[in-house]
Structure 1
């Protein structure tokens, strides 16, 4: 009889009880997943009903009674979802779907664009950020790499070592520290210095590209609108465009308003390009059609000329026939010399 040590242990999966328990666990997990999907469908349906009620659209109740119209003021504001997710929000009856900012890794050249994108998102969805800490934590959630990730980690750990007090009390404090940490240092001085050089001049760039850089420098240098700003714009503009704008007789832009100079420069640049396109289209020479290109691998076929029509062959000239010899007249047989003389004597008619 074999001992208990010789019996191989049974596979737990082969036990019917454990197999049934495993299947039951799988079914429960699937039911929980389906419950989550049903909850999402229910929330979507509820938002759709609220949208119809806000737009005074008749809705049919569950009973068989007549259709009723819900007034707009009776609509309830839907519960906002997690602000960290890019959900659609309702504002003034319109559904906004702003694009969330890109992830930020701490590079200073990208810091200004990142914080501006965050400010724009929060301004479009103010109801999704009920307090200052929600705004701060939402921005921290997109700081995922490099120095930015370490900054976010320090900010989130701060309450643990300071009795629950957050590192920044307001979003304005957080934004000021963010600019100091992740935006280019001393932007005002650098922009003002750039205006004193030719680095910002238009050169071979388009007018739109020049205007974009000019506005960035003017904002960073904090130059007010006026004669000094107009002078810097004219100084960096393409001299040909600047001369055409300056020589405008009617509607010349004011030397105190830089926006008028920008609009006039764009108009002159557009008219110049349109004129160049017109002249190039009018004076374009006509070219002869290109000869057909023969495939080098194709065989060369020579076409024979048609044969000329046959010409009539002239008959060959026939040789003259000698006259038949006549018999000599009767006379002296031996008088040959006399016969020759007679044949050579001309006949004279009298």
Structure 2
């Protein structure tokens, strides 16, 4: 290129660069002008500041509120009160514009009440109470009425007995957190209770690596350890070795498969194959997945395995003669059930009972007991029931039990048995470990039969019984001994059903001067008790022991259970006894009575039939025992009966050295 040409090109490029630089400068100036104008316009047209202080907060207030479901209606259940208040406060916080004032909050909560709480709140509305203008004041007024006053003590008792058991630690933590908030314990106390309720595996691991110093750290550590344990279990199950299979000595037919045929998947269990012992890992895997320990299949357990071979015979050894009963419905049943007959009073019902060696007692389903009107009673001490996962029964301790019922198994085995009442809809009757220990039955799992060869059953449950249906009777009737044949009329029942005449031993009821007429309370009676009361009244009216009354006094009646399963009527005469003049008739001492017969070598006992009906009330005093019926004969509950009743036999046998009399205290 010529030198002149190069100089021209450089000159042209220099001019172009200068023009470009000027254009960039002009653009920057125009941009600054536009920005200045836009800023001035925004300041001139800006809105006044909002109460919240920002445009963003104004936009949030104008946004639509989320839809909040209303809480369940509160009807006065103390256990649901805290949940109701919390749900209301959650609804108020989600919709602040709708529930912007305390007055709206209170009235919204009232609209979600029913029953007694609603009546209480409506009364506040009618009175215009100042509680309606403050949500906190309204809640504080409701707390003493519907909140649990013993919430802290209940929570402390619950957290002391709370255990993880076999549950995942997450479930244990959730239940622990729900209870811990009401205990009032500090972090140290909660940490100790939490560690105490963990499973032994987690406790051992915490002892090895060190116990955290705070509750939150211990919960986090427990979650981590439990997750690791579960991962290891899954790894062991995934790498579990196959079971060794050994051919039995029993000859079997060998099948030959064509080379072109598709091989079928191997059966998990084949009849004729002897199984070796399970490895600990495989046994744990099958138990964790509820698989049969014999064939490895789901849907049944070892005791109900349909392909488990029967046990070998014992070579024809002699066995004692026992009664065998078909007891399982179907050879592949997953549970051991036996058909039984329950009898009480004049009723009987056929049901199925399950035999469970893991049950700590004999149990009766609450729903079945209610539908059949089974006679029940309160237990002396409520019994807590622990489930297989370590938790307690959600309905609380067992408080009721049945009276002794006649239980018939087959045609010859019968006994009187009482049951604890629990919710058990799947298995209405459960024969537990105490029953198994008492009878020690022989159960053949392969033939689905049960027999009762034990000494107890042979002598107490089946001795002398026939195949006929036996009614409910604890004390079978026996014939009068020959030695007493001359006194046949003395032992006849009809004599005890006759109203005795008035005698010098009639029982008086002398009241304190000026004492008010007593009035008793009414006791709630169950269906069996109401039926017993009806029979008691009809029987007493027919025999003349009682009669209709117009007495201004009153007393309640209730029933207590007898040892034979029956019901004994008791009239509440405590108010009458408080105003009755006491009879100071001297009762003999038991040592004195025993001294009178210390030289005797032959003893017999005679129980007086309807003993208290042998003594009449003093003429004119029949109205004093308060009831809807006048008592013509002596009542067992009156304080005068304890002295009036013994006078007749004591005076009758006072000159006889070989006869003594004693009235038991009820």
After TM superposition, the score normalised by the length of structure 2 is 0.27
Q: Structure 1 or 2: larger strand share?
A: 2
The structure in which a higher percent of residues are helix is 1
Q: Which has the larger radius of gyration?
A: 1
